[in-house]
Structure 1
Amino acid sequence: METLHFRFENGRRQLAAQPQLVGVVSSGNLEVLIEPAPLAGGCEIEIRTAANGFGPTWQAVMADFHDRWQLTDTRICINDMGATPAVVSLRLDQAAETMTGGLP
C-alpha cells in the first residue's frame, strides 16, 4: 500500500453538507470520503492505494479535479484498489456534486 498526500490552495467553493462516502472498495474500485474541514482555505487529499508507483498519475487526476471544482476547506480521503483514472474522476465528481448541490 502507498499513501499519497496532496494539498491545493485558492479554492472558492465551500461544501454545504455533512461528510459523504461515495463508492465501494472492492474489485478494482475505490471509495471517496469528502468532508468540510477548517484548512485555512486549502483542499487536502489523502490517497491510500494498492497500486504503487503511480504518484504522477494521481497528481494529474487530483489537479484536474481541483481545477474543475475549486473546493476550499475540504478534506478528501480516497481508498483505492486499482481504479482507473476515469473511475477516480467519476467518483470524485459524484462526491463533490453531492456536497455542493451542483456541477462544477
Structure 2
Amino acid sequence: METLHFTFSGGDKAVRDARLVGVVSSGNLEILIEHAPLAGACDIEIHTAAHGFGTIWEAVMADFHARWRLADTRIAVNDMGATPAVVSLRMDQAAEMAMGATT
C-alpha cells in the first residue's frame, strides 16, 4: 500500500454530515468524508494498492478541490486500483452527500 497526503486551502464550503461512500473491492474504492477543524483546509489522505501514481492522484484531487472548494473537511480514501474517472465520480458523490444534497 502507498499512502499519499494532500492539503488544499482556499475553500469556502463546509460539509454537514460524515459520509462513507463506495466499497473497497477489486477495482474500486471507498471514501470517508467528514467535517474537521482544519483552519479552513481540506485534508485528503489516500491509501492505494497502485504504486507510482502520485502525480495522477494529485491532479484528480486538485480538480476535485477546484470543483467543490471544501473547507474544514477531512477525506480518507481507500483504493484498490480504481480508475481516475471512478475516483472523481466517488469523490463528487461523497461531497454531494456530505453537504446534504442527496441522501
TM-score, normalised by the number of residues in structure 2: 0.96
Task: Letter of the 2:93 partner, please give it.
Answer: Q
- 1:6 and 1:27 mapped to 2: Cα distance? 24
Q: How far off its partner does 1:100 sit?
A: 1.2
Task: Letter of the 1:20 partner, please give it.
Answer: R
Provide the residue aligned with 1:95 in structure 2. Answer: 94
List alignment gaps of at least 5 residues for structure 1.
none
Q: How far does the alpha carbon of each residue in 1:19-55 deviate from its partner, in whole angstroms, 9 at most, with x for none? A: 1100000011000000000000000000000000000
Q: How does 1:55-74 map to 2 (within 5 A)?
A: 55-74=54-73
List alignment gaps of at least 5 residues for structure 2.
none
Provide the residue aligned with 1:52 in structure 2. Answer: 51
- 1:4 and 1:42 mapped to 2: Cα distance? 16
Q: How far off its partner does 1:99 sit?
A: 1.0
Q: How far off its partner does 1:101 sit?
A: 2.7
Task: Letter of the 2:94 partner, please give it.
Answer: A
- 1:11 and 1:20 mapped to 2: Cα distance? 19
Q: How does 1:20-31 map to 2 (within 5 A)?
A: 20-31=19-30
Alignment: residue pair count? 102
SS in 1 for 2:56: helix
1:14 aligned onto 2:14? yes
Task: Letter of the 1:31 partner, please give it.
Answer: E
- 1:99 and 1:34 mapped to 2: Cα distance? 7
Runs of 4+ in 1 over 6 A off after TM superposition: none
